[in-house]
Chains A and B, each alone.
Chain A
Amino acid sequence: MKTNKLSYRFGQYSMFAGPAFALFLAVVILPFLYGLYLTFTSWDGVSVEKPFVGLGNYATALADRAYWDSLGRTVIYSVITVVLVNVVAFALAYAVTQGLKAQNLFRAGFFIPNLIGGIVLGYVWKFVFNRAFVSMAEALSHSGSSSSLLSTPNGAMFCLILVSVWQYAGYMMLIYVAGFMSVDQSLKEASLIDGCNARQAMWHVIVPLMRASFVQCIFLSTTRCFMVYDINLSLTKGEPFNSSVLAAMHVYNQAFVYKNYGTGQAEALVLFLVCAVIGIAQVFIGKRGEVEA
């Protein structure tokens, strides 16, 4: 009788959760573990044999100057992008929750870049930087030879940041809008009656109550920045002179272009550790915020 009940239970569980768990294990957990194994081999991507090399790949990764350059670049890119995205998104969210007639139109409009995939966005902006801006600069300076921002190392990074801010701001704006809506208006009004001016009410009442939105937006924009690949590929392709290769692109090239699968995988794992630290910090800060709020 008991085993019958057990097998009935097992049937119920696997009927409902089986497909989701099976796919999750097959696509995320199994490859993750297999990837760990691959970091200890020097596999060329073709042969059946995967020679064991111990920590060799990690040593190679540690010594790979280009990898650390790309990680450093990613950190700089991420810090600047995350700050700008959140400042722009918060300002836009504030503006579109002021009861303007056209506020829904603005919300919908600022979100448009998020509809289009990174590959397409990158090519659209490549056209803007290489043709439209150049032609504008030529018209303004009356000289026939302006060069594109994308052709200098700092310019290329600037373009990457500009496009990323443009793309993500609308998405984060929606999260901040939800945050603004969830703030109880009576608290704001109470603070105004108690003698706060609008700015004080903003900083001391509304912003602290929106902590969850901030944590979430910063987490989302940071992880997106650390994993960015599409825009990097279509907008700059890492050029000029590999000066705009971000970490995800370096890992991809290491594995699939140079066929150093083991090293690429070891470098990807380091990227994972960075993301995991950001994720854990986010959970930690989020939990602390919950207690306060």
Chain B
Amino acid sequence: MMMREKTGVRNLNVGSIALTAILSVVLALFVAPFALVIVNVFKPMSDITANPLAIIGKHGFTIDNFIEAMDKMRFWTVASNSTFITVLATVLTVVVSAMAAYVIVRNPQWKLGTILFSLMIASMVIPFQVLMVPLVSVYGGIFHVLNDRMTLVLMHVGFSVSLATFMFHGAIRTNIPMELEEAAEIDGCSKWMTFWRIVFPLLKPTIATVTIIDAMAFWNDYLLPSLVLGRKELYTIPIATQAFYGTYSTDIGLIMAALLLAMLPILVLYLFLQRFIVEGVTSGAVKG
């Protein structure tokens, strides 16, 4: 690392300037589709059709697309549904996975736990397509619990505990010294308190990683929510976008606004949490 920083100073030469220039062009190409949406959101439809590439259309600047799309896709309702589902499912995943991983790591003699944990790891190759028909059939046809945000939350958790438990398992095994826990127990902590007071706080880096990876997955998921949530007032952002496109596909200005509305929350969040998100995904990559 030291080495690299030193050479970094010396490398302020033609090579690194050229590389920066090339990467800037590539980055511009990477974000061009988003820029195109942003440019067209503020144009009336006739200007979009006439020239989608122009930065400002003949008829000037308008925010009508926004106002109308917000109203028609019920933006605040779907955004709050997405937020509720994402936050609750992420918190539950982190909590139940960390607890499960803890008891599995510390009790290797527990056969059932080991078997179920192996089953979890093996299940990671099951594509969702194999589970969607039985899920709908069991939870819709037999238990009648579809069309409920809580059902979706619990399903999200059930699908993501495998990877999360696996990641916490690795973190607890390698990073949490037994001595700390023993000391806490001598001081009179129960297992429950030892876990919450000593182990859980030490898992912060893994908690961050799991939170970022799962929150992004839950927020963006389309297929599972579309199967579980059929009622309009329960829609999440991806389902609402899909439904909106189906209804207004010819009104291109409205579509642009809806797409920007769908992207905006997470782009804004990324602006603030960018460093953590990139780090979280990277460390998840190393462990996962």
Q: Which residue of A lies closest to B220 (CB)?
A: A117
- A214 neighbours in B (Cβ, 8 Å): none
Partner of B259, one of A28, A100, A124, A229: A124
- B84 neighbours in A (Cβ, 8 Å): none
A28-B158, A108-B278 as given contacts; A136 in contact with B138, CB under 8 Å:
no
Q: Judging by beta carbons under 8 Å apart, are A13 and B103 in contact?
A: yes
Q: Judging by beta carbons under 8 Å apart, are A13 and B281 in contact?
A: no
B37 at the interface (CB under 8 A from A): yes
B7 at the interface (CB under 8 A from A): yes
Q: Per-residue CB proximity of A14-45 to B under 8 Å, as 1/0? A: 01110111011111111110110010000101
Q: Which residue of B lies closest to A272 (CB)?
A: B130
- A20 neighbours in B (Cβ, 8 Å): 96-97, 99-100, 161, 165
- B52 neighbours in A (Cβ, 8 Å): 127, 131-132, 135
By size class, the interface of chain B is 35 or more
- A101 neighbours in B (Cβ, 8 Å): 8, 16, 20
A245 at the interface (CB under 8 A from B): no
A76 at the interface (CB under 8 A from B): no
A223 at the interface (CB under 8 A from B): yes
Query: B123 to chain A: closest CB distance in Å?
Result: 5
Partner of A128, one of B36, B48, B116, B288: B36
Q: Per-residue CB proximity of A247-269 to B under 8 Å, as 1/0? A: 11001100110000100110011
B154 at the interface (CB under 8 A from A): yes
A68 at the interface (CB under 8 A from B): no
Please provide the chain B residues from 10 to 28 with a CB less than 8 Å away from any CB of chain A in the complex: 11, 16, 19-20, 22-24, 26-27
A100-B19, A226-B127 as given contacts; A131 in contact with B48, CB under 8 Å:
yes
- A110 neighbours in B (Cβ, 8 Å): 26-27, 30
Q: Judging by beta carbons under 8 Å apart, are B133 and A38 in contact?
A: yes
Q: Judging by beta carbons under 8 Å apart, are B103 and A123 in contact?
A: no
Partner of A113, one of B24, B30, B162, B285: B30
Q: Which residue of A lies closest to B40 (CB)?
A: A127
Q: Which residue of B lies closest to A254 (CB)?
A: B133
Q: Judging by beta carbons under 8 Å apart, are A279 and B125 in contact?
A: yes
Please provide the chain B residues from 199 to 233 with a CB less than 8 Å away from any CB of chain A in the complex: 216, 219-223
Q: Judging by beta carbons under 8 Å apart, are A28 and B123 in contact?
A: yes
- B135 neighbours in A (Cβ, 8 Å): 27, 31
Partner of B129, one of A38, A92, A227: A227
Q: Judging by beta carbons under 8 Å apart, are A132 and B36 in contact?
A: yes
Q: Judging by beta carbons under 8 Å apart, are B131 and A28 in contact?
A: yes
B191 at the interface (CB under 8 A from A): yes
CA distance A19 to B53 in the complex (A): 53
CA distance A20 to B245 in the complex (A): 37
Q: Judging by beta carbons under 8 Å apart, are A112 and B129 in contact?
A: no
Q: Which residue of A lies closest to B99 (CB)?
A: A16
Partner of B133, one of A35, A98, A279: A35
Q: Per-residue CB proximity of B85-102 to A under 8 Å, as 1/0? A: 000000000001101101
- B126 neighbours in A (Cβ, 8 Å): 28, 32, 272, 275-276
Q: Which residue of A lies closest to B110 (CB)?
A: A13
Q: Which residue of A lies closest to B269 (CB)?
A: A115
Query: A121 to chain B: closest CB distance in Å?
Result: 8
- A158 neighbours in B (Cβ, 8 Å): none
CA distance A93 to B100 in the complex (A): 35
A112-B34, A248-B129, A264-B133 as given contacts; A19 in contact with B99, CB under 8 Å:
yes
Q: Judging by beta carbons under 8 Å apart, are B124 and A279 in contact?
A: yes
**Interface 9-residue window, one of A77-85, A144-152, A170-178:** A170-178
B257 at the interface (CB under 8 A from A): no
Q: Judging by beta carbons under 8 Å apart, are B132 and A255 in contact?
A: yes
CA distance A183 to B262 in the complex (A): 39
- A19 neighbours in B (Cβ, 8 Å): 96, 99-100
Q: Judging by beta carbons under 8 Å apart, are B137 and A127 in contact?
A: no
Q: Per-residue CB proximity of A231-257 to B under 8 Å, as 1/0? A: 001100000000000011001100110
A166 at the interface (CB under 8 A from B): yes
Contact sample, A vs B, 9 pairs, CB 8 Å cutoff: A16-B100, A100-B19, A106-B27, A116-B263, A120-B263, A132-B36, A132-B52, A227-B128, A230-B222
Nearest 9 CB-CB pairings of A with B? A27-B158, A117-B220, A279-B125, A99-B8, A20-B100, A16-B103, A23-B158, A31-B134, A175-B285
